[in-house]
Chains A and B, each alone.
Chain A
Amino acid sequence: MKVVYERPKTLEKVVNHYCPGCHHGILHALIAEVLDEMNLADKAVAVAPVGCAVLAYNYLDIDWIEAPHGRAVAIATGIKLAHPDLLVFTYQGDGDAASIGLAETMYGAIRGMNVTTFMYNNAIYGMTGGQMAPTTLIGMKTTTSPYGRDPKREGYPVKMAETIALQGGTAFSARSSLYNPRAITDTKKYIRHAFELQMAKAGYTFLEVVGTCPTNWGMTPVEASEFAKNELAKFYQLGVLKDVEGSEQK
């Protein structure tokens, strides 16, 4: 029998703590697959966030540092300045990267730091029990917007991939998702491209990944994947926003 798929070597063989069907696990696995295929696991240092991915260092067999909430890109910056030849990336939630850590994330892009950020956007604070995030859609119910997000009261959802794409130091900014095999394939392609650009010292690379939180959305995993496709990915349009290697797209 020919192998079509086997668990990547860099993905530790442990049961993770994520809720059943949570897409965090898919994103972890894709990063592990790309690290294996590019033979970069020995060179990789990742920064874990505060959020549901706080224990990510238990799941990828590479070097990790745990950052205080929102400070991941600042720590990645320090690692990269001390060790310019390592592959340095942050793994963050939307609350971590776009709320408390917005300044750090923005300055990664503004300064053109040679690091990569993966921002898992599930439009909610998952870890703390489903509060509204800056990315929560208009009308979406959370524990702190129980009647649905109203922009007059709670402001508008932030589009991070577009914002990061506008900054001069950004080499690559894209948004992808994980709701079906096609979306998963695109995400993996972007992860690889971001790592290639970082190794070529092209500048800041940013991938926003539209994911799910079945638990706090109050949905089954299959319903949550459908919501990611039909609602989240409609507002947060998927595709490449900036790529210094290709032509800049919308």
Chain B
Amino acid sequence: MNEGALKVVVDEELCKQCELCVSICPVHVLQISSRINSKGFHPVEIFDNDKCISCGYCAMTCPERAIAVYKPEVERA
């Protein structure tokens, strides 16, 4: 029932567009968005939620702790 829910939630105001998370993601599903936050940075976004393996690497690498990561309770068949 949570199939559509995002596995990676970015607090866009905290993001400084450093791209460490983008470079560390093992399945390459993060990118810099075209939005802009109040400090002038383009926050990161997930562009392929299905491919994300909820490993948490992006969150633990983020110096701003701008990322929360979630894992679906039941894997899709």
Task: Count residues of A near B (Cβ-Cβ below 8 Å).
Answer: 29
B70 pairs with A221, CB closer than 8 A: no
Chain A CB within 8 A of B27 CB:
no
Measured between C-beta atoms, what is the minimum distance from B74 to chain A in Å? 10
A residues within 8 A CB of B70? 1-4
A residues within 8 A CB of B14? 13, 15
* Beta-carbon nearest neighbor of B22 in chain A: A222
Measured between C-beta atoms, what is the minimum distance from B53 to chain A in Å? 10
B63 pairs with A222, CB closer than 8 A: no
* Beta-carbon nearest neighbor of B54 in chain A: A4
| Interface size grouping (class) on chain B | 20 to 34
Indicate the member of B41, B56, B65, B73 with the most A CB atoms within 10 Å. B65
B71 pairs with A29, CB closer than 8 A: no
Contact string, B17-43, partner A, CB cutoff 8 A, digits 1/0?
111100110000000000000010100
Residues of A in contact with B (beta carbons under 8 Å apart): 1-8, 11, 13, 15-16, 18, 20-26, 29, 180-181, 184-185, 220-222, 225
28 A-B pairs within 8 Å (CB atoms) are namely A1-B2, A1-B5, A1-B70, A1-B72, A2-B70, A2-B73, A4-B71, A5-B67, A5-B69, A7-B11, A11-B65, A15-B14, A16-B64, A20-B18, A20-B41, A21-B19, A23-B63, A25-B63, A25-B65, A29-B63, A29-B65, A180-B61, A181-B57, A181-B61, A184-B61, A221-B19, A222-B19, A225-B23
